[in-house]
């Protein structure tokens, strides 16, 4: 983002809003998706706890293991784990872009003072 000292203030503000909106929208979308992933993975984790408990007591292990497998399939747990990392990396890239924009604004503001 380059701030044009000769540009009208309204144009510059519009440019900044546009430049911030893209990475902010990406971060927001990723956080919404991550919230859904967390709910799905929490349900899988509950089944993991049931398997753990059954393995300690020796009662109902086969049923608990089948329930876990079913829950993992329903949640598409393998995909969630893989995509979770990608969503976090994408969000970090978005917040880095926002930080660069804000840094440029601070530098530009210091130059006009």
Residue 113 and residue 37: Cα distance in Å, rounded?
46
4 inside domain = no
Q: Which residue is it, tokens 């059954």?
A: 54
Residue 69 and residue 103: Cα distance in Å, rounded?
48
pTM of the model: 0.74
8 inside domain = no
Residue pair 101/19 in contact (Cβ under 8 Å)? The answer is yes
3 inside domain = no
Number of domains in the chain: 1
- List of E strands, 1-113: none
Q: Give per-residue pLDDT as tens, 65-96.
A: 999 999 999 999 999 999 999 999 999 999 99
43 inside domain = yes
Domain with 107 in it? 13-112
């Amino acid at each position: 983002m380059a701030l044009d000292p000769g540009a009208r203030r309204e144009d510059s503000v519009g440019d900044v809003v546009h430049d911030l909106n893209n990475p902010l929208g990406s971060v927001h979308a990723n956080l919404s998706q991550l919230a859904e992933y967390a709910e799905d993975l929490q349900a899988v984790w509950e089944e993991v706890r049931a398997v753990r408990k059954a393995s300690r007591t020796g009662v109902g292990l086969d049923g608990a293991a089948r329930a876990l497998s079913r829950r993992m399939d329903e949640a598409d747990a393998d995909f969630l784990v893989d995509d979770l990392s990608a969503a976090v990396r994408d969000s970090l890239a978005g917040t880095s872009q926002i930080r660069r924009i804000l840094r440029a604004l601070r530098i530009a503001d210091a130059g006009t003072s």
